[in-house]
């Protein structure tokens, strides 16, 4: 006797197959998104967000500021604005002296 799946069983297997492929597809998309993100990071790392030229890292005390070699814009990393805001007036003046054009 040949075993013949019932319609319900067939439906179940089709759905399982779809779910399996969907999961594979989602994994592929996640990998692709991660790859794309890495590509963008590599492309933009230490590049000025305004003009695209290279940023030069300059350190003053514990503050590391990235200054653009093109437009001379100054960029701060996360938390650095708070550190700058805690400087005394004299420290601020010195900082501005370092990064002034
Ligand atoms: Zn720039």
Give pLDDT tens digits for 12-38: 999 999 999 999 999 999 999 999 999
Provide the pLDDT confidence category of residue 3 given band limits of 50, 70 and 90: low
Residue 62 is encoded by which pair of tokens? 């514990």
The answer to whether 55 and 69 have CB atoms below 8 angstroms apart is yes
CA of 81 to the centre of ligand 1 (A): 19
**Alpha helices (H) in the chain, listed in sequence order:** 7-44, 80-85, 89-99
CA of 65 to the centre of ligand 1 (A): 13
* pLDDT surpasses 90 at 53: yes
CA of 50 to the centre of ligand 1 (A): 5
CA of 32 to the centre of ligand 1 (A): 30
CA of 38 to the centre of ligand 1 (A): 22
Among 20-24, 57-61, 81-85, 94-98, name the one with the lowest average pLDDT: 94-98
The answer to whether 24 and 31 have CB atoms below 8 angstroms apart is no
* pLDDT surpasses 70 at 5: no
Span 51-75, mean pLDDT? Answer: 91
* pLDDT surpasses 90 at 49: yes
Nearest C-alpha neighbor of 64 from the set 22, 98, 27: 98
| Confidence (pTM) | 0.62
């Amino acid at each position: 006797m040949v075993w013949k799946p019932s319609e319900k069983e067939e439906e179940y297997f089709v759905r399982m197959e779809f779910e399996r492929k969907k999961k594979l597809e989602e994994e592929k998309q996640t990998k692709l998104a991660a790859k794309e993100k890495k590509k963008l990071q590599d492309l933009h790392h230490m590049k000025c967000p305004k003009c695209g030229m290279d940023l030069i890292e300059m350190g003053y005390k514990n503050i590391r500021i990235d200054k653009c070699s093109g437009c001379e814009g100054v960029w701060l990393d996360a938390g650095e604005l708070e550190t700058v805001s805690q400087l005394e007036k004299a420290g601020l003046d010195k900082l501005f002296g370092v990064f002034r054009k």
